[in-house]
A and B are shown apart, each in its own frame.
Chain A
């Protein structure tokens, strides 16, 4: 009698919990699938693990709310006396371990693939500054800075009177995009000049810290042409929220034409850059130059 009661309630609770969970998935955003083999691996891994933990959560909540509905004093339910079950304890220790192994196997293989940065066809050095990025194309001898674009920078000032909605790609546009060829194995060398930054383009599937005094490695292989946007992900000071990343992936042929058009011009040294604020600031954060990104934009424009 009581057992049937529990079973019926459990099925009803299961239905309710499942519908709520489905609703939470339906209204929200998920991780982007991305445009590289690695980002797709990560996306599938994320979905797999999310699926597993969702099922675990639904089962746990079903058991819990079934108990809440059925085992009430107000329904005259007498408390049972049991306080221990070795069999149950072994079961719910073993099953989670098996589930973890199922998760660990694909996670390990994706990670090993990710960490293999060999066989690169081209190398790009990424340097983080407060608050802009510098890109050096090692083979092609191109070098430039990439900072928040002028429109976003105007709109983001307090009391600017500009509605951010009227700015295209507000906070996600730069003056100079990182142009990369598709279908090419590209190795990134990441470092920073002042504090720790983190280079993150979700569509590429990873972020990696850019640390002063160290060089980190990561790689990508972009399969689809397009514009992919990201941001600095490690708190790096007052304009941490204002140093976006824009990758423009073009065909290898178009990339070659872009390289020719650059004319081999190399950017100035960071110290000569008018917007540079990243060094010798330890004596006080109070005297930071205002609107640094604005000045940099002007400088880059003048530079042609």
Chain B
């Protein structure tokens, strides 16, 4: 799709393989970005299908469709597939496509490693999904794999741990590549405080990934030796401690939450200024707020485990630290609204998804503040209130931001405008159904419904039915999304280089579709080209 526009580049670039070999051996950041995004979409639909099994079973009280073991496998696999297979690869795909173009670099700094870090993923997820067909079944102890429960499973645990190691290696390599690219490949004049916020948020995310993925690797390796080699890291009978696992896991797990949301902040910070036709408000504050959130994310892990029985002092510390995160997060929300304020807004699909993000991520953030309050968390913890909270931040937060980004950059990638009418239908259908899906879950949690149960008491029936109806509606809306993307790849109105009237930044100075090789000679960068401006200097 991008060969036609490479005429003014060096000849040897055109001698790359075609067909399957092109994708297997590619070292081009745009092609690898496409691979990541396609992989992510497939995993999104696979993980979504698992969610529909869950919602179908929960449509009515009593067990109708699946037995409890399989239900637990579905909740576990749904989370692992969505987090590691859908959301993280989608962000890496966007990073691959956009970071070199945004900073005026010719490619990622480490192209062969880039290829490798992608091609590990299909193998990792083949291994993970294959456990569904093993005699002992897929892991059924929740994505957190808490021992001792996770150690009761069959041999499939070993496959799950191997696949987690592979995902971790892939993520770490991807993160190293992002850091190396951002620190070394910027065009002259693209100072750190001129970088687009998407680049900034990814730079910070990459450091988080490098810091915590090895921690997860350590935790699951200890599970592996506990299960198969007779160690007792987490077995009280052998002098170990099951709660130790939770501390280690969440030391990874909480920064992981921000790995899943910081690049989303970056995408939203690109889209809102474009469609408000106004520069981002408080750029420098946004950069510092992102760094602050990332730093604080290392100090709040135990708020996931307030009910394990920690000393009073520890609980108070983790409560206060968690509450403090609301401050930089609030700064971001206020800055986005100030960017919109007195702008000249239009509401194309990317902007609609960005506004949807803004509203629903705020709802998720506010329920997060409630969850920080330890005494109240004794009631909320492990109830559907928590399920509602993290789906608001992950689905209407991270996933909506990814979709906003896809609609925003799709014309740049394909050279065609997507079908605006279908895009708007997709947005409204998704937004209405996702709230029907997740909002009632707040009520269920407050009324006392625990999470991860395949069947429930009669008083929870109505809200579960409503939630399931919303779930199916939201699920099918995503097939429309896949169709819109496919249709845009195949054809559509030609896109200009600028694409959006208010768009600023280097990626909008190259033709649409972006040629396979961009910025072979670095562009000249000053405040007139950059999307943002450091107004303190």
Interface residues of A (CB under 8 A from B): 24, 28-32, 38, 41-42, 45-46, 49-50, 53-54, 56-57, 60-61, 63-64, 67-68, 71-74, 77-85, 88-89, 92-93, 96-97, 100, 103-104, 107-108, 110-112, 114-115, 155-158, 160, 162-165, 169-172, 194-196, 198, 200, 202, 205-209, 211-214, 216-217, 229-242, 281-282, 284-286
Contact = CB atoms under 8 A, between A and B. Distances in A.
Contact of B276 (A28, A32, A79, A100): A79
A67 B341 contact: yes
B11 interface: no
A220 B334 CA distance: 42
A168 B452 CA distance: 23
A82 B341 CA distance: 10
Nearest to B339: A83
A233 B381 CA distance: 8
A154 B120 CA distance: 47
29 contacts: A41-B375, A53-B369, A67-B342, A67-B343, A72-B345, A74-B346, A77-B345, A78-B344, A80-B342, A83-B280, A83-B535, A107-B319, A108-B316, A111-B319, A156-B63, A160-B62, A163-B62, A164-B62, A170-B457, A198-B382, A207-B382, A230-B448, A234-B146, A234-B382, A235-B142, A235-B146, A236-B149, A241-B453, A285-B154
Contacts of B370: 46, 49-50, 53
A103 B323 contact: yes
Given A49-B373, A206-B379, A286 B277 contact: no
Interface stretch (B38-46, B196-204, B305-313, B511-519): B305-313
B362 A93 contact: no
B242 interface: yes
B148 A196 contact: yes
B448 A32 contact: yes
Given A31-B446, A67-B337, A285-B136, A165 B61 contact: yes
A292 B171 CA distance: 43
Given A46-B379, A236-B149, A64 B358 contact: yes
Contact of A45 (B323, B375, B450): B375
B373 A83 contact: no
A100 B331 CA distance: 14
A256 to B, nearest CB: 30
Contact of A49 (B62, B136, B337, B376): B376
A68 to B, nearest CB: 7
Given A67-B341, A155-B62, A212-B148, A241 B68 contact: yes
Contact of B279 (A83, A200, A208): A83
Interface stretch (B14-22, B436-444, B488-496): B436-444
Interface stretch (B205-213, B281-289, B421-429, B468-476): B281-289
Given A84-B282, A112-B312, 7 more contacts: A28-B440, A29-B446, A54-B366, A68-B347, A73-B277, A93-B327, A111-B375
A38 B327 CA distance: 29
Chain A: interface secondary structure?
mixed
Given A156-B62, A235-B141, A242-B455, A30 B446 contact: yes
Given A112-B312, A286-B135, A57 B363 contact: yes
Contacts of B510: none
Contact of B337 (A38, A64, A82): A64
Contacts, number: 305
A289 B457 CA distance: 24
Contacts of B151: 282
Contacts of B362: 57, 60-61
B4 interface: no
Given A84-B535, A92-B330, A156-B63, A240 B154 contact: no
Closest 10 CB pairs of A and B: A213-B236, A241-B453, A206-B378, A28-B443, A80-B342, A216-B309, A53-B366, A29-B447, A202-B448, A195-B149
Nearest to B532: A83
Contacts of A79: 276-278, 342-344
B67 interface: yes
A44 to B, nearest CB: 10
Contact of B443 (A29, A103, A202): A29
A100 B324 contact: yes
A83 B283 contact: yes
Contacts of B320: 104
B374 interface: yes
A155 B316 CA distance: 44
B345 A92 contact: no
A45 B443 CA distance: 17
Contacts of B448: 32, 200, 202, 230-231
A73 B154 contact: no
Contacts of B137: 285
B117 interface: no
Nearest to A284: B154
B533 interface: yes
Nearest to B63: A158
Given A46-B379, A237-B152, A96 B343 contact: no
Contacts of B72: 235, 237-238, 240
Contacts of A217: 309
A236 B151 CA distance: 12
Given A73-B345, A92-B330, A164-B61, A114 B148 contact: no
A129 to B, nearest CB: 13
A165 B455 CA distance: 13
Contacts of B243: 211, 214
